Structure 1
Amino acid sequence: MGWRPRRAGSLRATLGVLVALTLSACAVGPEYDTPELTLPGHWGVTAKKGEAAPQLKAWWRRMGDPMLDALMTEAVAGNLDVATAKANVRAARASYHQQMGTLFPQITGNASGTRGDSGGGVSPNGDITVSNGYGQYQAGLDASWEVDLFGANRRGVEAAAYNVDAVVNSLDAVLLTLVGDVASYYADVRGYQAQIALARSTAASQKETEALTRRKLDAGAASAVDLANASGLVASTEANIPELEASLAAAIHRISVLTGQPPAALMLRLSRVRPVPTPRLPVPRGIPADVLTNRPDVRAAERALGQSTALIGQAEANRYPSISITGNINATGSRLGDLGRASSISWAFGPTLTVPIFTGGQLKALVDLAEANRDVSFIAYQASVLTALEDVENASVSLSQQRLKTGKLTIAVTSYGEAARLSRALYENGSTSFLDVLTAERSLYSAQTQLIQSRVATTKYYIALNKALGGGWDGVVDTSRPEVVDQNTGPHFARIAPLARPDGSAQP
């Protein structure tokens, strides 16, 4: 049996009030605007007037190494941190769609059926009674809708939207870190290979000097001390090779893992020696304000600030009254076929008002908590901006100074090379002592090693500067495909997993 029917005028008045409340619904809490931060108008001591905007699109291609370009693509496709970030994007989008559902009515269906028999027997006066079967069938709909008077649900949707943006930017930040790491370790690989090649060629040259010293000793023109020094110099140079080989292997292992493969997967592929990638310099940096849009970690922090601001409004709205509209309609019949024809219809409809009167200060405390969290997000945003500026300044200075160092080391290698050549020639002619040869060859090998290391450092500072400016992966990344694709997810008989014994083995 349904409610007593209301007068049409009363029902229309109720609906009119609810519609008016819905249309005039407001949102409480602060409205979010991206904060304006005061940033320097130019970079620091290494700044140039009128610097062009940074060229961040596939910046690693300007080093002209096809192997590095291929590794970048493989890393983006196979890296596990990227896969995790993509899953986080899917989760954030699912949460957004779930939150969007709170703005719409919720409708569920229900159905039931009962079949019974009253039973037969003998009445008190001795008459035989016949059993009478009966049935009752019911089907209906239940609906509910929360009138978002003060915007609690809309603030929740707003917060979820900001969170999606933040998580997408976090994915970009992971990609930025990934391409930077791949490029840096690749430069290390080529640097270690160059140092190994130098050590072997230097040791070979020093062995020639050792052989010359041995011949001079046999001829009485050199001492045993000279031969011992020559042999020790060879062994000292060769002793560097095992450590360099270990460092080379570790760098290759890291690149393999970054691409989502076992550590030794790229060992053969990267074993072919190639030169250290040479960056194209100088690097345009634009203005400091560019980091606000180019750095994904800064963008993510700004979106997180928007999310925390929206959550203040949601917490504030929960302190205000809320109205929900519920209703249902049911059809009941004695036979299944009667539900659509001769059934009895019952329905109910009406609003529910909920007013928080006394909560012991909990709702106000939740607002205070949300405001404090917003302050934390704002400080984190400011910190991310300062960190970005610091990264650019540090990488700029380091790159500039390292280029100067490379130039000086190039001059040193040329000078020490000439000194080594002359001292060896004079030693062969007996015009100088072996000590001069020993000093010259040690100095030359040290300068050559430092020059290789400086070139690697220049490349890595170039990489660091592009990372600091916000240069990451700008290609398409598919976030829609899950890593695990389930099969047979429809209705099916469930398999009961066997219980585990205390020793870890499965029970039958």
Structure 2
Amino acid sequence: MITYRPMPIRSSTSCLRLLPALLALNACTTGPDFIKPDSPGPQQWTALPSVGSAAIDSSAVSKNWWQKFNDPILSALIERALNQNLSLRNAATLLAQSRAQTGIAAADQFPQLNANTSYTRMQASQKGILSLAKTLSGGSSAGTAANGSGSGSAAGGTGAGAIGVPAAGVQPFSLYQYGFDASWELDLWGRVRREQEAAAADLQATQEQQHAAQLSVIAEVAKNYIELRRLQASRTLSTEQRDLASQQHELIKLQAKHGVVTAIEVENAAAALAEAEAALPSLAQQISLSLNQLSLLLGEQPGVLNAELSGSQALPSLPPRLELGLPAELAQRRPDIREAEARLHSALADIGMAQADFYPRFTLSGSTGLQALRLRDLGNWSAWQYAIGPSIMLPIFQGGRLEATLELRQAQHQQAAIAYHNTLLAAWHEIDSNLAAYQQARLRLQALQAGVSANQQSRQLQQQRFEQGLITRLPVLQAQARLLQAKQTELDTISLSVLDLIAVYKALGGGWVEVE
């Protein structure tokens, strides 16, 4: 199992010894650094022999693998889906959000500067803190002190109290001010840098989600298109089978009139005709569903593709070679593995952030501006004020919150490591299963093609015997029915082979493009 052992908290005590240098360099970072995990797996792909003309090799997986089917309509549909699919548009908005979040995290490394201006009308309470003036002056209008520093009375009963505040309180006044204030947290322990690292990893994970969405849309369009062409070809074959069943029914009825066959054969022929006729509405419904599914994948209204794809067309041909790529390339190509790796990276950076919270935070802050009781005095230099100085926040007692947070981040990292390992293992199994299915489908197709060829030969021989007057027309029709059934089975297997090949390319992670 892939695991990481995070650096213990005490590992950063060396930073404390270098505090003077850190104040200047701002370069210490808590937590373990991310190391790209190994991607163990089979040394080579599951051995597959060449099936027919389809050779297996280790060439790089084609970026536009669907073009190997040599079907311009399919290629055009996929391009349209990549531009119009609503799920991909939604993935693009999620990516934009993740990029914005990365920008927010990056802003924490810079000083924060704000401008402010205000006007305040104030009236101090005479029963509040200002009432201490009368208490401290002993209730007298004139105070004396042993050291001779007492203040004398003032005309009008406005003598000052012992703390220099008029005993009668302060009259309402206005306060005008404007200026600037700034603050900057010194990232001595790398908390902000780890935050940026986690945000960048989350952005990478979101990009891989979009890549996975692209790959899924491409595969779904291809599968639905193949299914549509199979259904259309099946409808053509079913129409021929219905017409053939009708001819057989008429011929058997004619034979029954002459006593050649019984009523049982007539009813059997009628049942076969009814079954052939019943298959056509079902196929029409399935064709409609496939067209609507393609329209949805392209972000179009129902029925938009009906005229464009209504004509029957042969199934795309299988490519002569199957390019699998090297096993070592899988982790760099499959979006789900790349996403799991990014999640692992983000979780490790979160550990560093949690460890940094154990150490003091140093912040430089300052403010400057003008303040006056009268608006016209704001232009005087004497109205200028400023404040500047550092602040230190040292966590002393948090009730175990920091320790629990660190344990949580470490557990989340272990979960991400397990998820990465599981994703990698599942990828190997998916590829192996799809390759095996593709191989068996091709082997079955070989046998069925031989059967179609034999049925064609049988039908020709029966036709020749009929033309020579050796047999009736019924054996010819029966041979034709067997041929149509063999062609239907062959069609289904060709479709299955193409679908299995699409699944192989999807499992290999081919088809997505880099997101700008």
TM-score for the superposition, normalised by structure 1: 0.81
Q: Is the 8 A contact 1:53 1:287 kept in 2?
A: yes
Residue 212 of structure 1 is aligned with which of 251, 275, 279? 251
Residue 308 of structure 2 aligns to a residue whose secondary structure is coil
Cα distance in 1, alignment partners of residues 120 and 252 from structure 2: 110
1:323-377 per-residue CA deviation (whole Å, 9 max, x = no partner) reads: 1122111212455565344442111111111111121221111111111111111
Counterparts of residues 160-179 of structure 1 (less than 5 Å): 160-179=199-218
Q: Is the 8 A contact 1:110 1:141 kept in 2?
A: yes
- Structure with larger Rg: 2
Residue 268 of structure 1 aligns to a residue whose secondary structure is helix
Q: Is the 8 A contact 1:173 1:472 kept in 2?
A: no
Match of 1:151 in 2: 190
Cα distance in 1, alignment partners of residues 77 and 41 from structure 2: 36
Q: Do residues 382 (structure 1) and 384 (structure 2) align?
A: no
Match of 2:236 in 1: 197
Alpha-carbon shift at residue 235 of structure 1 (Å)? 1.7
Q: 1:449 to 1:282 in 2, by over 3 A?
A: same
Residue 366 of structure 2 aligns to a residue whose secondary structure is strand
1:162-196 per-residue CA deviation (whole Å, 9 max, x = no partner) reads: 11111111101100011001001100000000001
Match of 1:127 in 2: none
Residue 402 of structure 2 is aligned with which of 360, 363, 366? 363
Match of 2:137 in 1: none
Q: Is the 8 A contact 1:177 1:472 kept in 2?
A: no
Greater shift, 95-104 or 419-428, is seen at 419-428
Q: 1:70 to 1:316 in 2, by over 3 A?
A: same
Match of 1:23 in 2: 25
Alpha-carbon shift at residue 444 of structure 1 (Å)? 3.3
Alpha-carbon shift at residue 311 of structure 1 (Å)? 0.5
Alpha-carbon shift at residue 228 of structure 1 (Å)? 2.3
Counterparts of residues 37-436 of structure 1 (less than 5 Å): 37-46=39-48, 51-113=57-119, 136-333=175-372, 336=375, 338-420=377-459, 422=461, 431=471
Greater shift, 221-230 or 384-393, is seen at 221-230
Q: Is the 8 A contact 2:463 2:476 kept in 1?
A: yes
Alpha-carbon shift at residue 477 of structure 1 (Å)? 5.5
Alpha-carbon shift at residue 212 of structure 1 (Å)? 2.5
Residue 310 of structure 1 aligns to a residue whose secondary structure is helix
Cα distance in 2, alignment partners of residues 29 and 243 from structure 1: 63
Residue 74 of structure 2 aligns to a residue whose secondary structure is helix
Q: 1:20 to 1:214 in 2, by over 3 A?
A: closer
Q: 1:333 to 1:343 in 2, by over 3 A?
A: farther
Q: 1:293 to 1:114 in 2, by over 3 A?
A: closer
Cα distance in 1, alignment partners of residues 350 and 451 from structure 2: 62
Alpha-carbon shift at residue 74 of structure 1 (Å)? 1.2
% identical equivalent positions: 31
Cα distance in 1, alignment partners of residues 68 and 209 from structure 2: 26
Cα distance in 1, alignment partners of residues 494 and 221 from structure 2: 17
Q: 1:50 to 1:209 in 2, by over 3 A?
A: closer
Alpha-carbon shift at residue 387 of structure 1 (Å)? 1.8
Alpha-carbon shift at residue 50 of structure 1 (Å)? 9.6
1:366-409 per-residue CA deviation (whole Å, 9 max, x = no partner) reads: 11111111111111111111122222212211111111111111
Name stretches of at least 5 consecutive residues in structure 2 with no aligned partner. Answer: 1-18, 123-154, 157-171
1:48-77 per-residue CA deviation (whole Å, 9 max, x = no partner) reads: 899333332211111111111111111111
Match of 2:501 in 1: 462
1:140-177 per-residue CA deviation (whole Å, 9 max, x = no partner) reads: 11111111111111100000011111111110110001
Q: Is the 8 A contact 1:309 1:374 kept in 2?
A: yes
Greater shift, 405-414 or 181-190, is seen at 405-414
Q: 1:271 to 1:145 in 2, by over 3 A?
A: same
Name stretches of at least 5 consecutive residues in structure 1 with no aligned partner. Answer: 1-16, 117-122, 125-132, 479-508
Structure 1 counterpart of 2:395, which letter? P
Structure 2 counterpart of 1:141, which letter? F
Residue 347 of structure 1 aligns to a residue whose secondary structure is strand
Alpha-carbon shift at residue 31 of structure 1 (Å)? 0.5
Q: Is the 8 A contact 1:319 1:356 kept in 2?
A: yes
Residue 455 of structure 2 aligns to a residue whose secondary structure is helix
Q: Is the 8 A contact 2:241 2:481 kept in 1?
A: no
Q: Is the 8 A contact 1:54 1:283 kept in 2?
A: no
Q: 1:342 to 1:115 in 2, by over 3 A?
A: farther
Query: What is the number of residues matched between the two proteins?
Result: 449
Structure 2 counterpart of 1:372, which letter? A
Cα distance in 2, alignment partners of residues 281 and 312 from structure 1: 50
Q: 1:433 to 1:137 in 2, by over 3 A?
A: closer
Alpha-carbon shift at residue 441 of structure 1 (Å)? 5.4
Structure 2 counterpart of 1:329, which letter? T
Structure 2 counterpart of 1:161, which letter? A
Match of 1:451 in 2: 490
Structure 1 counterpart of 2:83, which letter? A
Cα distance in 2, alignment partners of residues 25 and 303 from structure 1: 24
Structure 1 counterpart of 2:25, which letter? L
Match of 1:36 in 2: 38
1:456-481 per-residue CA deviation (whole Å, 9 max, x = no partner) reads: 1111111111111111233x766xxx
Alpha-carbon shift at residue 448 of structure 1 (Å)? 1.9
TM-score for the superposition, normalised by structure 2: 0.80
Q: Is the 8 A contact 1:56 1:470 kept in 2?
A: no
Q: Is the 8 A contact 1:333 1:342 kept in 2?
A: no
Cα distance in 1, alignment partners of residues 398 and 259 from structure 2: 104
